[in-house]
Amino acid sequence: MTIEILGDGCPKCRGLEKNTRQAVADAGVEAEILVVNDPSRIAHFQLLTLPGLVIDGELKSRGRLLSAEEIRRYF
């Protein structure tokens, strides 16, 4: 599984990364977690608000700081 955190390093973006890492650990799944701040990749998903959560190429969330429990629902 590949998980991308799309963001610019803001507090919500860092929080989403932290919660994503916790969700992966809690679920016991193998995942590559990438923090992406490339404007062209962010634009690809037409994000107007950050952060974005992408799992295996599919945008799951935009503009929200999800809890670890909410993120685990996407696995």
Active-site residues, by number, are 10, 13
Give the pairing type, strands 52-55 and 2-6. antiparallel
6 — phi, psi (to 5°)? -95, 120
Query: Quick one: tokens of 54?
Result: 């992408």
**Tokens describing residue 12:** 């919500």
